[in-house]
Homo-oligomer: A and B are copies of this chain.
């Protein structure tokens, strides 16, 4: 297993990263990215300490118990660990599904080999899935820019060269490997777009353009969430990057292109759902604490909003329980979460984040956006007065101010905006989750129940008018 020191050393691989229009000399010492590198490094040590025999959660689950254990283990280990877990599970799932569809394919074995190597090296992953997409009405082959979707531009006996860009890539500049997979199903004629592979971050031709919602140094004291959980989001540009054969998970096989997106989608959504369950509890907790600090815990309309938050958190948790409790098993023993409950739960959570945030902000009040800073409270000239006037029912003005800061950070600042958009768009957007839920819902049973109840049977279709 990698140590924090080894992780830091591993980032010195010539990676080409830009931030705010400027080349980043060293991600480890960059004002915004550096603190994130520290967080990942620390998580390596934490994992080594907890799991001296190796990270159990990178092993393919073989039972519902494995699945739940991994899901529980991953929660407190930070976003890069989570992204790595979801990537490796998705590769496992894809290998299983391709193997089921094409027993003679070489891909499953190769993918499993790659997984073994990645486990051995204890790497971290970024998931490169969403393409630039250009005009979204048009498929890859019809775009005026042929690079709107990532594609193979050259092939040799040793491997392929890829070109294009992937968007919304969390943590790219802090990962070792980029898992590059097609964003959607491909059709005949789009073979060059059916490319899935793993690419080391420092490869020649890879450029990472980072943006961030992390707090500035001055804002850190008011940012309990974003100072830990805000990781850079990147556009990753591939300019004729060479990928050797043993890193290719798919090339040209349009029939399997969507398997990767679906496999990753499932694991991304169950991870998203798990986070939503935690975040929903967090909203309940923060709402309750601030209502208490304001002295409003007994006020009926405040209380009712807290109940609404509790209902929401409980329904989300129920869907996660159902998703983990009703997983299914692939032909090779690989276990996956239940697609139906995962997608419905993720959809429910994604579509209710904004209204739940509204409730928390209603409960808390305007100081969410106007509470003075900790620097104000630390200033001996004005600090005592500021703290006096921030004191609520709990009597401690600094405590109450910090609750307002926390609620702002989670719901009403740059990071809160990131949370909100990510809830909605993560795992493919609400629309994608509707589609997948429908695919797995037993519509025939519902129709049969309605027919049985009404004593009817569907008539044969009308012959078309000639």
Contact = CB atoms under 8 A, between A and B. Distances in A.
B375 A20 contact: yes
A314 B134 CA distance: 33
A250 to B, nearest CB: 22
A378 B21 contact: yes
Interface stretch (A4-12, A33-41, A189-197, A341-349): A341-349
Given A235-B372, A282-B449, A314-B340, 13 more contacts: A20-B218, A22-B379, A133-B392, A136-B392, A209-B386, A224-B453, A237-B386, A288-B450, A365-B425, A394-B459, A394-B461, A395-B461, A408-B417
Interface stretch (A114-122, A152-160, A254-262, A426-434): A426-434
Interface in A420-458: 420-422, 424-425, 429-431, 434, 437-438, 441, 443, 445-451, 453-456, 458
B314 A369 contact: no
What 3 A-B pairs have minimum CB-CB distances, sorted nearest first? A21-B375, A412-B417, A285-B450
Interface in A317-362: 317-319, 321-323, 325-326, 340-341, 344-345, 347-348, 351, 353-355, 357-358, 361-362
18 contacts: A21-B375, A22-B375, A136-B392, A137-B295, A144-B464, A148-B389, A207-B382, A209-B372, A237-B382, A284-B450, A300-B304, A310-B441, A311-B437, A314-B344, A357-B420, A358-B424, A368-B421, A393-B461
A29 interface: no
A13 interface: no
Interface in A395-421: 395-396, 399, 402-403, 406, 408, 411-414, 416-418, 420-421
A381 interface: yes
A454 B224 contact: yes
Contacts of A455: 224
A127 interface: no
Contacts of A167: 366-367, 370, 389
A295 B357 CA distance: 30
A135 B282 contact: no
Contacts of A296: 136-137
A233 interface: yes
Contact of A370 (B211, B315, B378): B211
Chain A interface extent, by class: 35 or more
A174 interface: no
Contacts of A465: 142-144
Nearest to A224: B454
B318 A344 contact: yes
Nearest to A308: B434
A105 interface: no
A192 to B, nearest CB: 16
B392 A135 contact: yes
